[in-house]
């Protein structure tokens, strides 16, 4: 900063404080494209310097400026998301959504877990679908190992039904983009829709940044609910998938659809669990919304009684 006070210790402290603040903001903006990130950092830095000068300079002035700006974490995440969307303005909607979901997934643990898991589930489903289409197109297949569900085509090409554990990862490369787009669209739509429904029911909403923010504690409850549904769904899906592998198929021989698709109730449970995992944000948000609404209505009734 220019026009620094004479005291060298104060000068050092001012530099340290500003560098620390901008470093924290840089860390929050790390997922934004580098050229735009630099631009945003320069803008905030110029804000700090302008306000610092206006307040007469000095250490206490800088502290006031940083306090007025607020913690970088408070507005940085929203800013990063807006910058990503802004940067992708000329790209197709799909690419912008993909960028946004990658950002969401990479900046929160729950986002990472849920998006990665959802991708695998989608990939698994795609694998099943591909197998089904291949059969529907007349690719001859024969179940040669009823216990392990090894399916081979007559041409000697090995297939496993359902796909082996490693195969969803390969198929995920194909299914990644549609998966994240569907998933993000669903999540964003439900999130906004539920907020709108809550607002209609007369709940007060605080606001920061662009989107209305639910009452205190609502976000935390929703995240916990999402995580619970996601864990139960993923755990159930894995458990029932393994169990279904252990159950022998009822009629060895040529595989027919749709009889073999949900070949046992356990496999069906695996699919249902996968679905629970897939829509865990929806279930979690609905659960949190219902809870919040119930509490608010209860409170309202109590007040009326009084």
Partner 1 sequence: MSDDGDLWIAQLRKGMLELCMLALLAHEERYGYQIAQGLTESGALAVSEGTIYPLLSRLQREGLVEARWRESPAGPPRKYYHLTPAGRQAFKSQASTWENITRAVDAILEEARNGRSAG
Q: Which residues bind partner 1 (CB under 8 A)?
A: 39-40, 42-47, 49-51, 53-54, 68-72, 74-76, 78-79, 81-83, 85-86, 89, 204-210, 212, 215-216
11 versus 24: smaller Cβ distance to partner 1:
24
Minimum distance between the CB of residue 142 and partner 1, rounded to whole angstroms? 56
Residue closer to partner 1, measured from CB, 16 or 299? 299
The least distance separating partner 1 from the CB of residue 72, rounded to whole angstroms, comes to 7
CB closer to partner 1 out of 34 and 258? 34
Q: How far is the CB of 82 from partner 1 (least distance, A)?
A: 4
Q: How far is the CB of 207 from partner 1 (least distance, A)?
A: 3
Closest CA to 177 of 94, 96, 91: 94
Closest CA to 172 of 112, 123, 105: 123
Q: Count the Cβ atoms, other than its own, within 10 Å of residue 80.
A: 22
CA distance 249 to 263: 7
Per-residue b or e along 239-263, where b marks 16 or more CB atoms closer than 10 Å to that residue's CB: ebbeebeeeebeeeeebeeeebbeb
Q: Which is nearer to partner 1, 72 or 117 (CB)?
A: 72
Beta bridge partners of residue 207, listed in sequence order: 212
Burial class (CB in 10 A: 0-12, 13-18, 19+), 128: middle
Q: Which is nearer to partner 1, 21 or 240 (CB)?
A: 21
Q: Tell me the closest approach of the beta carbon of residue 28 to partner 1, in angstroms.
A: 11
């Amino acid at each position: 900063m220019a026009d620094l006070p004479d005291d060298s210790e104060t000068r050092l402290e001012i530099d340290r404080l500003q560098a620390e603040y901008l470093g924290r903001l840089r860390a929050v903006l790390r997922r934004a494209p580098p050229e735009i990130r630099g631009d945003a950092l320069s803008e905030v830095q110029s804000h700090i310097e302008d306000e610092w000068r206006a307040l007469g300079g000095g250490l206490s002035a800088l502290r006031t400026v940083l306090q007025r700006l607020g913690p970088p974490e408070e507005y940085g995440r929203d800013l990063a998301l807006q910058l990503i969307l802004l940067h992708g303005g000329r790209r197709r909607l799909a690419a912008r959504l993909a960028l946004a979901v990658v950002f969401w997934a990479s900046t929160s643990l729950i986002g990472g877990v849920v998006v990665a898991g959802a991708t695998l589930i989608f990939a698994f489903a795609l694998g099943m679908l591909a197998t089904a289409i291949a059969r529907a197109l007349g690719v001859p297949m024969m179940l040669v190992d009823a216990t392990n569900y090894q399916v081979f085509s007559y041409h000697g090409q090995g297939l496993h039904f359902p796909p082996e554990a490693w195969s969803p990862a390969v198929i995920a490369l194909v299914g990644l983009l549609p998966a994240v787009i569907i998933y993000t669209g669903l999540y964003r739509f439900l999130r906004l829709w539920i907020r709108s429904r809550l607002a209609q029911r007369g709940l007060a909403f605080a606001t920061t940044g662009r989107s209305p923010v639910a009452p205190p504690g609502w976000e935390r409850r929703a995240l916990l609910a999402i995580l619970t549904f996601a864990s139960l769904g993923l755990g159930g899906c894995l458990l029932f998938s393994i169990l279904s592998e252990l159950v022998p198929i009822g009629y060895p021989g040529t595989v027919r659809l749709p009889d073999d698709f949900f070949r046992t109730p356990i496999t069906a449970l695996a699919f249902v669990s996968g679905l629970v995992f897939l829509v865990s944000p929806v279930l979690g948000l609905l659960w949190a919304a219902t809870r919040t609404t119930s509490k608010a209505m209860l409170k309202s009734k109590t007040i009326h009684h009084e």
